Structure 1
Amino acid sequence: MNGQNCLRLISASVMLFSACLSAAETFYVSSADELTDALASVEAGDTILLAGGTYQASTTTGAIATGNGGTVNRSWYYRAEADGTADAPITLKSQYDYDPAVLSGAGWSESGYTLYVTGDYWVIEDIAVTEGAKGIMLANSDYSEINNVEIYNMGQEGLHILDGSSYNTIDGINIHDVGKNDDGYGEGIYIGSDNSVWWEGDGVNTGESGLYYHRDVHDNLITNSIIGPEITAEPFDIKEGAYNNIVEYSTIYGSGISGNNFADSHIDIKGYDTIIRYNTFYQDANENISRAIMIVPRTSAGVDAEYTAHDIYVHDNVFYMDEDDVEVLVANSGSENIYAWDNVRDPAEGNWYNSLVIEEVPEGYDEYSDNQTPVADAGSDISAETASQVVLDGSSSSDPDGDELTYSWSQTSGTEVSLENTSSALAQFYAETTGEYVFSLVVDDGEATASDSVTVTISNPDDIDDGTTEPSDSSTQLSCVIGSENVWSTGFVLNNIEVTNNSDSSIEDWQVQVQLGATDVTVNNYWGSEVTLDGDIATAVNASYNGNLDAGESTTFGLKGTYSGTWGEASCYVSGSDTSTATVTED
């Protein structure tokens, strides 16, 4: 909103004066063209208010950015791509909840997603979405909310949450009559993506158009919703790689489940760390249904066991199954830690669980069940000069549940400094020596931890380049930073571990060490390097294709494994010994 608009609004109304101060704008919309323009213009804190009626736009086809920095071509009717913030989300809603606006495509047999959401912090409420190939897509969208929304008459699925979309809340959604064009792919809510289109794939399955979606779709909550009737595939399909997702307090109907493309249950779970609780299931006399919930390991499709079919919790649900042979919960071979308790089957004398289901409350479930992982933010990389005080700022770290965080700073690379206030959001040190320093921040909400790192580059403004180069120990030529650290109760993944050649010359090979976060550990897979394990130290040596690094060039590797006991914090470093140095080639 520009200053002139603010002045006009101030003269019109005191109420609008407060809106002007917050720099938020309200777009009043009554046509498809106005809605398209508003979606393209909104910024953090803005609201789009829709008059009642049907909004039917033409499709737009273009490149959609994916979470890994690539693009994929898609068609859509409406797109929400701006980012809101935690304090200033972007809202799209009907002006009156009793007269909802209907966002419509050209028909369920036509191409095009009705509403494509790729921005963060959106609140979408009190609308209906209909007549598209798919309903709402949450793609690489975090911290968004969908409240009191109806989705119906779709060619395929109603709602798809994919490409790393996390920390989203779906509350009071009603999905029905989907899969009208392809009944084997008409899921109500589809969480995650098939491993063949993962960005983190194995290089054999290259994914759709050669691009990948992030598999880590996590910490999404679906609550107080009605899924069905006439969902032709599964009402819920939770894919491999998706984790920490919860379905609760919802009603799930079985009418319409077609039996095609293995659609014979209310919920398929191929992901892990999933909670299904306080829901009501109806078979609706549908003979295509074989069981209400099925756990499907995807190891046969090449998915590592860490990412599929383990630690599933099903409790306090009611299952109205019309036929005795329709089971409540079946875990297929390869499933691990599948728990069920305090469920009700009506009639009770029918089939319940198979032998892989553990009928008890797992130890520690109460602490696990409602907690979401905190978000660590160590701040942007810093450039500073010698003889200055450097402040490390982790105050942008947050917790989705609002839990109080504790902070722990440590140095992981560079000449050792005296780091102060390591247990507060703001740590600091006095910069004496030039070079590159890496610091790690771990935040803890009392139940889960998260980490992030920040690189500090210290330079001396008085340095004069006289054209000579001092010899240096090649062990100082490398730096190593862990990009992401994903830890659960028995396993871990360290990914995007970046090795950088900081010298002025190219190197032919490299070697670094990773200090793992527990003492009783195994490493069962790695990529981008060759890894050997000695106690809790993993030594990584370059792979055949990424040993040559030009001056300033970087490469990445990763590893995953299992552990027992308590996981602390992993760090990557370059040892000063001869066996941990880079081989430098003089230019």
Structure 2
Amino acid sequence: MRTRRTLLISALGATAALAATATAGIPAAADAAPPAPAAAGTIEVSTAAELKSALTSASPGDTIHLADGTYPGNFKASTAASPGARITLTGSSKAVLTAGGGYGLHLNGASYWTVKGVTVTGGQKGIMIDSAKGVVVDTVTVHGLDMEGVHFRKSSSGGVLTNSRIYDTGNDGRGMGEGVYVGTANTLSDKSDGVQILGNTIGPDVGGEAIDLKEGTTGGRVAGNTFDGKGLTGNHYDDSWIDVKGNNYVIENNTGKNTTNNGYETHSQQSGWGCGTVFRGNESNLSGATGDKQLAINVTNFSGSCGTTVHASNTVTAGKGLTNIGVTP
């Protein structure tokens, strides 16, 4: 294997190592300090085989750096890091993970990883995040998929997707090509809570909603994104930029154009869910919408026990209006 690890050892660590060598064989004092943790390193990779090896061998604090090039295959990481010692997978957009099916990149139990800069294309799904807390996906490009682009699943809480571009998904034509998918349909056991989706460009040619926020998930934030719904199929009700089925989400300062029906929607797929959403500062251009409602924000199951707040700072161009409920200043 040609993987190269560059150790970053501090002067203090080097001195400690020399001292340990000099005193080999001498019993340690009862109050001696514990050994210092292994120093973080950078793993340079340039082939698919090297990448698979690095994903397996990386330790908390390490960085895996991809050279520009194509990396064919399906890639998986399952080592958990920590908030203070993340594992980072990074490269430019010219470092392209190309799957021939399945998941392009699967973070399975790989909590506190950062994935930055790379491109993921081909396969069924782009970046799948399972049972992994605190994952950050930053400045990636995801496209050319049969189904969804980025999926936070199996109680992958506290994740962030930011500054990324997702387009050309759902190519199997079944309306299951969401740009971003949070949670699991028809279950309340997937607690992928507190996921933030910030400053991304999603679309065109996304075969499902740009963002689908499932029942069972709560407390996320969707802000500063740009949506282009050109390519929505209408299958499985994929007729809006965002469909909120979870609770207590904040949807703010997003911009959308091109939709087959409404801009943003809430639904109660399970009793007590699809509630507590706050919409503010969103701009909706419904020119060309073909549905029978054509609202910027369509709210279902609105009641005293399942409220939604639509602020007057939301705006709409064309269509039939801003919302079907009262507006809050």
Whether these two folds match at TM > 0.5 is: yes
325-334 or 253-262: bigger deviation: 325-334
Aligned-partner Cα distance in 1 for 2:284–2:302: 25
Match of 2:105 among 109, 115, 125: 115
- Return the index of the structure with the highest Cα Rg: 1
Match of 1:310 among 260, 267, 275: 275
Q: Number of aligned residue pairs: give it.
A: 298
Structure 1 residue ranges (4+ consecutive) displaced by more than 6 angstroms after TM superposition: none
Aligned-partner SS, 1:190:
strand
Aligned-partner Cα distance in 2 for 1:278–1:153: 27
Q: Is the 8 A contact 1:102 1:129 kept in 2?
A: yes
**1:323 Cα deviation from its structure 2 partner:** 4.3
2:79 is aligned with 1:82:
yes
Aligned-partner SS, 2:307:
strand
The equivalences for 1:461-480 within 5 A come to: none
Letter in 1 for 2:284: F
Ranges in structure 1 where 5+ consecutive residues have no aligned partner:
58-76, 201-213, 362-587
Could you give the per-residue CA deviations for residues 187-213 of structure 1, whole angstroms, max 9, x where no partner exists?
Answer: 110111012xx4x6xxxxxxxxxxxxx
Where relative contact order (Cα < 8 A, 6+ residues apart) is larger, the structure is 2
Q: Indicate the RMSD between aligned Cα atoms, in angstroms.
A: 2.4
**1:22 Cα deviation from its structure 2 partner:** 5.3
Higher strand share: 1
2:272 is aligned with 1:294:
no
Aligned-partner Cα distance in 2 for 1:47–1:30: 14
Ranges in structure 2 where 5+ consecutive residues have no aligned partner:
16-35
Q: Which residue of 1 aligns with 2:152?
A: 161
Match of 2:294 among 323, 326, 333: 326
Letter in 2 for 1:224: G
The equivalences for 1:553-572 within 5 A come to: none
Letter in 1 for 2:301: S
Q: Which residue of 2 aligns with 1:572?
A: none
Q: Is the 8 A contact 2:88 2:113 kept in 1?
A: yes
Match of 1:353 among 319, 323, 329: 323
Q: Is the 8 A contact 1:30 1:50 kept in 2?
A: yes
**1:304 Cα deviation from its structure 2 partner:** 3.3
Aligned-partner Cα distance in 2 for 1:91–1:263: 34
Letter in 2 for 1:172: N
Match of 2:315 among 344, 360, 363: 344
Q: Which residue of 2 aligns with 1:47?
A: 63
Q: Is the 8 A contact 1:53 1:101 kept in 2?
A: yes
Aligned-partner SS, 1:26:
strand
**1:47 Cα deviation from its structure 2 partner:** 0.8
Could you give the per-residue CA deviations for residues 236-271 of structure 1, whole angstroms, max 9, x where no partner exists?
Answer: 111111110111001011101011111111111111
Q: Which residue of 2 aligns with 1:504?
A: none
Identity of aligned residues (%): 29
Q: Is the 8 A contact 1:194 1:240 kept in 2?
A: yes
Could you give the per-residue CA deviations for residues 402-459 of structure 1, whole angstroms, max 9, x where no partner exists?
Answer: xxxxxxxxxxxxxxxxxxxxxxxxxxxxxxxxxxxxxxxxxxxxxxxxxxxxxxxxxx
Q: Is the 8 A contact 2:43 2:54 kept in 1?
A: yes
Change (3 A) 1:275 1:9: closer
Q: Which residue of 1 aligns with 2:197?
A: 222
Q: Is the 8 A contact 1:337 1:358 kept in 2?
A: no
Q: Is the 8 A contact 1:9 1:17 kept in 2?
A: no
Letter in 2 for 1:146: V
Q: Which residue of 2 aligns with 1:497?
A: none
Q: Is the 8 A contact 2:152 2:159 kept in 1?
A: no
The equivalences for 1:463-542 within 5 A come to: none
The equivalences for 1:13-32 within 5 A come to: 23-32=39-48
Q: Is the 8 A contact 1:114 1:130 kept in 2?
A: yes
Could you give the per-residue CA deviations for residues 360-380 of structure 1, whole angstroms, max 9, x where no partner exists?
Answer: 15xxxxxxxxxxxxxxxxxxx
